[in-house]
Amino acid sequence: MAEDRAVRLIEALDLDRLASLAIMGLGKNAGKTTVLNHLIRTCAKAGLPRVLALTSVGRDGEDQDLVTGGMKPRIYVREGTLIATAAGSVGKSDAVLEILALTGIRTATGEVAVARARSNGYLELAGPSIARDLALCETFFRREEADCLYIIDGALDRKSQAGGGLTEAVVLVAGMANAASIEELAEKTAVQAELLKLPSLAEEERQEIEAAMEGKAGARAAIRDIRGEVRLMEMPSLAGHGKEVAQGLAPGDRILFLRGAVTERFVEDLLSNKHFRQMTLAAEDGTRYFIGGRTLARLKQQGVKLEVIHPLILPMVFVNPARGGGSQVDARELVKAVSTAVDVPVMDTGPALV
Amino acid sequence: MLLISRQDRERLGLSQALEACRCLTPQGKRMKLKYRYYGPDEKELLEAELSAVDRLAEYTKHHPLEIRQALGHLSRFRDLRGSLAGLSKARTLDLTELFEIKEAVRLLHQLLKIPVLLARADVLIKPLPEAEALLDPRKMESSGFYLYDEYSARLAGLRQARKKVEIKLESAGGEERSRLLEERSQLLTEENEEERQVRANLSGQLAPYADRLSENLDAAGQLDFRLAKAQLAIRWAASKPDLLEAGATLILEQFYHPVIEAHLSARGAAYERQTVTLAQGTSVLTGANMGGKSVALKAMALSVVLIHLGYFPPCAYAASPLFGFVSYSSDYFDTTKRGLSTFAAEIVKIRDDIRQARHMPGLVILDEPLRGTNPQEATALVRALCRLYAAFPGVLVVATHYEVPAEEGIRHLRLRGIEPGELEEIISGTGDPQSDEEAVRRIESLMDYSIEAVDGSASIPADAIRIAGWLGLDKGVFELLEGEGGGADGRAQT
């Protein structure tokens, strides 16, 4: 039975075909690492012939589990798995690790090493924190195993300056730790799922904007007007420059592309300019929108369309019934509530899966 | 001995020019940054260095595949000073350090497989079969590293035991599971301790090879640096300079400054390469304003410095005696740091150069010395300087607007500048320039930057007033020039 379930999950997630997958949490302690552990076991149970290649998005030394007081969750890897983790974590691993390469990527706990597990065992993943380095890890992995399934535990946070399209697909983990009630969690999940599934800009628009931004590291915003002309705005980061970008919008502008985190505050600033109405707002990918349901509704009300440069596949939402402090909500009720709110399959992260 | 100040080096654009010399290894990069200067008593060493670069440049042209391979290996070398020092001090290395050492040993082994390249580069890498065997007990020749079971039967046994427990754990529950978890934890503790022991043993066994490995890494750095020099030579179309006996005449054919050339070409302007010969004694360079004196001096100095640093200079052909020092001073003196006036700073520099030049052959290049001084006194000082250097063993090149008569040991060189009549032609023939840039461009297009030797004394060029007029200097100024050698329209009265 367990094998059947595992095979079905592999199929649902398309894990025998996907090149890469990110696991994104709705908030802190959503249960991302639990999902990663589930996926690893699932692949083993189903006999997936592909090698898994794992890393996590680091938090630049700010250990997220210290913030909430929980213990840093470890993952249990199988022999043969590839990992990218900081040298500081290598020594703490239960699994026998074969170091394959040192990446030159520096983190607070040492240089990121690419290794292969030579035995099963627990380990801690502490990967890079910026997009370019996450892409570099994938390059190292593919050098070892061209057909590996690259899985990133986590998504770029709002402080990340740039990065999108790091993975082909993303699964969303919504935990009861992220909301006060089942209803609230369902609502928040629906908003996040909608953002993750945002469609791509039209091919021509996407190409023009990408061409205009190419090689311009300081360009954070690109505005395409009705004649198809693209102008760029340079600034150190999007954060704190919402008004500046809003003031840069003129009648006839059609698309505003933002490279970086699109936050509530930024969107508020944009909405203060009437020229922003009816425009299309685009981000690198769905994980780069950090906005809630009310802001999303206001954007729709103003006729603003949301799109992305790199569309993502969202094959599944995982829900985690564990609240902080050890209590749980009813898993079936939770799955049901979230299922009615989103139009992708919803699964419980609980022990039933394995 | 490198007797060129950091300030001079920056003004010369030396480090910018050498950005194009790309070393891949940390060892090679460190060598490059040392700016190793070969003095007059190191001619043989420098000859050997340049010959190695020459052989590598030839090899690079005909063996692109081997070069690509070598560069691929070199690009993976890392700085191992910390780990090697650890080995020498009997510290137990961690897993990543052991990996780094294995990787270095493996890369050195790969380089040894291209013996022709090593021979051309005159680089010796000594095989390290013992260290290789220690780090690759399975003789897999793979690039990865872990604590292999072969290192310790006990470690292998503990791992096996843990594996069995883990298999049982997959299906165990309840008390059985707790017992197995406890057992696993116990085994892991022992495994960790045994791993530490294995690392300690391995570190101890590797320690005797630390010095040889360190020498090999330096050799790889040397190969890297020489290859980078060879590639730079190809890029600059430079050939191996001839090293001449002391006192011989310095020859630079078609020399240029690569940074300035790139800069000019970026704004669509052409750079005219120059040829010059500089005999022992003093050479006085004259030429019109905007005639390219400063650029010529900078490029000359750069080429000579590069030869002394073991590079092929950016010239079609170069031949030079070795100088004990090269001193280059532009008219710009940053004196704010030392609290000296411009004049004082300049005199101090000239004084120091003379002290050096008295007892060793130096190349001293002065770009318009004493330009901010009373012209009569300055002329007298510059003439005296020229006479003094005429008798010194080295070479003084001085660009000046002050008149210096030719005499024994003082030769004159002239930048041709603008042919008489040509400037008048564009001034009268075409309209006023649209912009300063355009005016400058038109003047540049008329300039002949070639350097010619002049018999006797060169006349002092008098294009300044005409050029000032073309650049739109206020007519009021020219009106007041009447009778002073200038016309109301800015044309010189000749």
Q: Do B411 and B271 belong together in one domain? A: yes
Q: Do A116 and B159 touch (CB under 8 A)?
A: no
What pLDDT score was predicted for residue A61? Answer: 41
Mean pLDDT, 10 residues at a time, chain A of 354 residues:
82 93 90 91 92 85 44 83 94 93 92 96 91 95 96 85 86 91 94 96 93 90 93 92 93 94 94 92 95 95 95 95 82 93 89 40
pLDDT band at B270 (very low <50, low <70, confident <90, very high): confident
- B236, B267, B291 — which closes off a domain? B236
Q: Do B223 and B91 belong together in one domain? A: yes
| Summary mean pLDDT of chain B | 89
Q: Do B232 and B243 belong together in one domain? A: no
- The percentage of residues in chain B with a pLDDT greater than 90, rounded to a whole number, is 66
Span of A315-319, B43-47, B460-464, B489-493 with lowest mean pLDDT = B489-493
Q: Which residues pair with B252 in a beta bridge?
A: B276, B318
Helix (H) / strand (E) containing B10: helix B6-12
Cβ-based neighbours of A338, under 8 Å, separated by 6 or more: A174, A185, A186, A189, A190, A317, A319, A346
Distances (CA, A) of B207 to A42, A99, B214: 45, 21, 11
pLDDT band at B487 (very low <50, low <70, confident <90, very high): very low
Q: Do B163 and A120 touch (CB under 8 A)?
A: yes
Q: Is residue B467 included in any domain, yes or no?
A: no
Q: Is residue B13 included in any domain, yes or no?
A: no
Q: Do B417 and B350 belong together in one domain? A: yes
Q: Is residue B22 included in any domain, yes or no?
A: no
Min Cα separation A235/chain B (Å): 27
Amino acid making up residue A52: L
Q: Is residue B342 included in any domain, yes or no?
A: yes
Q: Is residue B4 included in any domain, yes or no?
A: no
Sheet holding A52-56, edge to edge: A97-107, A110-117, A82-86, A52-56, A149-153, A20-25, A169-175, A317-320, A346-348
User: Beta-strand (E) ranges in B212-338?
Assistant: 242-244, 250-255, 274-278, 281-286, 317-321, 325-329
Which chain B residues have a beta carbon less than 8 Å from that of A110?
96
- B213, B236, B259 — which closes off a domain? B236
For A111, nearest residue in chain B (alpha carbons): B96
Q: Taking the domains of chain A in order of start, what are their residue ranges?
A: 2-197+312-348, 203-308
What pLDDT score was predicted for residue A119? Answer: 95
Average pLDDT over residues B332-337: 54
Q: Do B358 and B387 belong together in one domain? A: yes
Q: Do B321 and B204 belong together in one domain? A: no
Q: Domain tally for chain B? A: 2
Q: Do B299 and B439 belong together in one domain? A: yes
Domains A2-197+312-348 and A203-308 share a fold: no
Which B-chain residues 77-136 have CB contacts (< 8 A) with chain A?
A: 78, 94-96, 99-100
Average pLDDT over residues B102-126: 96
pLDDT band at B492 (very low <50, low <70, confident <90, very high): very low
What pLDDT score was predicted for residue B428? Answer: 66
Q: Do B230 and B257 belong together in one domain? A: no
Cβ-based neighbours of B11, under 8 Å, separated by 6 or more: B298, B328, B330, B332
Q: Do A99 and B95 touch (CB under 8 A)?
A: yes
Q: Is residue B468 included in any domain, yes or no?
A: no
For A117, nearest residue in chain B (alpha carbons): B146
Over the stretch B144-170, which tens digit does the pLDDT of each residue have? Answer: 999 999 999 999 999 999 999 999 998
* Structural class in CATH, domain A2-197+312-348: alpha beta
Q: Is the pTM of the predicted complex or chain greater than 0.90?
A: no
Enter the ipTM: 0.85
Over the stretch B186-205, which tens digit does the pLDDT of each residue have? Answer: 999 999 999 999 999 999 99
Task: Kindly compute the dihedral angle of the four CA atoms of residues A73, A79, A84, A86, in this order, to the nearest 10 degrees.
Answer: 60
Residue B40: pLDDT over 80: yes
Helix (H) / strand (E) containing B417: strand B410-417
Q: Do B219 and B312 belong together in one domain? A: no
Over the stretch B170-184, which tens digit does the pLDDT of each residue have? Answer: 888 889 999 999 999
Residue B85: pLDDT over 90: yes
DSSP B218-246: HHHHHHHHHHHHHHHHHHTT--PPEEEPT
Residue-number span of the structural domain to which B386 is assigned: 239-462
Which chain A residues have a beta carbon less than 8 Å from that of B136?
none
Q: Is residue B174 included in any domain, yes or no?
A: yes
Q: Do B204 and B247 belong together in one domain? A: no
- B206, B236, B266 — which closes off a domain? B236
What pLDDT score was predicted for residue A64? Answer: 46
Answer for the pair A118, A98: CB distance below 8 angstroms, yes or no. Answer: yes
Q: Do B264 and B349 belong together in one domain? A: yes
Of A91, A94, A100, the CB nearest to B188: A94
Instruction: Suggest the residue from A79, A90, A99 to mutate for an interface test with chain B (most B CBs closer than 10 A).
Output: A99
Of A97, A111, A120, the CB nearest to B146: A97
Q: Is residue B350 included in any domain, yes or no?
A: yes
What pLDDT score was predicted for residue A70? Answer: 44
Instruction: Establish if B10 touches chain A: CB-CB under 8 angstroms.
Output: no
Measured CA to CA, the distance from residue B377 to residue A199 in angstroms comes to: 79
* Structural class in CATH, domain A203-308: alpha beta
Q: Do A119 and B159 touch (CB under 8 A)?
A: yes
Instruction: Establish if B145 touches chain A: CB-CB under 8 angstroms.
Output: yes
Q: Do B199 and B243 belong together in one domain? A: no
Which chain A residues have a beta carbon less than 8 Å from that of B163?
119-120
